[in-house]
Amino acid sequence: MATLVEVTDAGDPRLADYRDLRDVSLRKHVEAEHGLFLAEGEKVVRRALAAGHPARSFLMAPRWLDGLADVLEASDAPCYVVSEQLAEEVTGFHVHRGALASLHRTPLPDLDTVLAGARSVLVLEEIVDHTNVGAIFRSGAALGFDAVLLAPRCADPLYRRAVKVAMGAVFSLPWTRLPDWRTGLDLLAERGFTTVALTLADDAVDVVDAVAGQERVALVLGSEGHGLSAEWQAAADRRAVIPMHHGVDSLNVAAAAAVACYVTAGRARG
């Protein structure tokens, strides 16, 4: 049973995990140093715990306690009970969904564990926007992808905003970091995946043709601004494009990911 602790001072050091949640650079630092991440809202908190992340603590306004009574019953972590105003003062924003939890990160699985049995995986090179990372996880999960691999510079899927947008998919879809950017796609190829880079390059083929007949496909996505690096475009087995209407630059990366996942999930098998 979680211990309920009423806190009335916004400066209370026990609330440190929840401080200034909108300050991205501060949070990156704090979360990395302490090996923690934040979950927001009853549904997401439940999914994070169910995925095996132990709670460090909870932060809730009184009216949210009932909804998570069973969760608190089953936990040994402290639950800080605060007014909604104090929650806003500490976190720096109005906590619409009431319940917050600070959870332990767990060691990332190794590549072969994540890829075991996988047929369709996403590889994200350098998506910098946490909203896009979350949206891509959600689309991947909804459309039947089996795993997500992140290059070293891709934004953190356990950052609060990504967790929220992914609606729990960062917990349901196996994922890990590639150990090294240069050799990242080679590791996929060695494991029998056809690596398909999404790009606007002139020699790109229609994504439908690029994935058709491929048993194992790794769909490779670049950054929001500049797309995939030249190195990864060259390293991929195939370069593919979603055919665009004349005069439009491109889909945004989350929309492109959704369409490419849809096409890949429905591909004819070899």
Instruction: List residues binding a second copy (CB under 8 A).
Output: 131, 135, 138-139, 141-144, 165, 167, 169, 172, 242, 244-245, 247-252, 254-259, 262-263, 265
Closer CB to a second copy, 2 or 124, in the complex = 124
Closer CB to a second copy, 52 or 144, in the complex = 144
Minimum distance, C-beta of residue 144 to a second copy, in the bound complex (Å): 4
Closer CB to a second copy, 118 or 259, in the complex = 259
Other beta carbons within 10 Å of 142: 15
CB environment 74-102: b (16+ within 10 A), e (fewer): ebebbbbbbebebbeebbeeebeebbbbb
DSSP single-letter state for residue 132: H
Cβ contacts of 246 within 8 Å, gap of 6 or more = none
Closer CB to a second copy, 65 or 208, in the complex = 208
Minimum distance, C-beta of residue 72 to a second copy, in the bound complex (Å): 25
Closer CB to a second copy, 59 or 263, in the complex = 263
In whole angstroms, what is the distance from residue 113 CA to residue 174 CA?
A: 9
Minimum distance, C-beta of residue 179 to a second copy, in the bound complex (Å): 28
Residue with tokens 């690596």: 195
Q: Could you tell me if 54 and 74 are in contact, meaning their C-beta atoms sit under 8 angstroms apart?
A: no
Minimum distance, C-beta of residue 259 to a second copy, in the bound complex (Å): 5
Minimum distance, C-beta of residue 252 to a second copy, in the bound complex (Å): 6
Other beta carbons within 10 Å of 111: 18
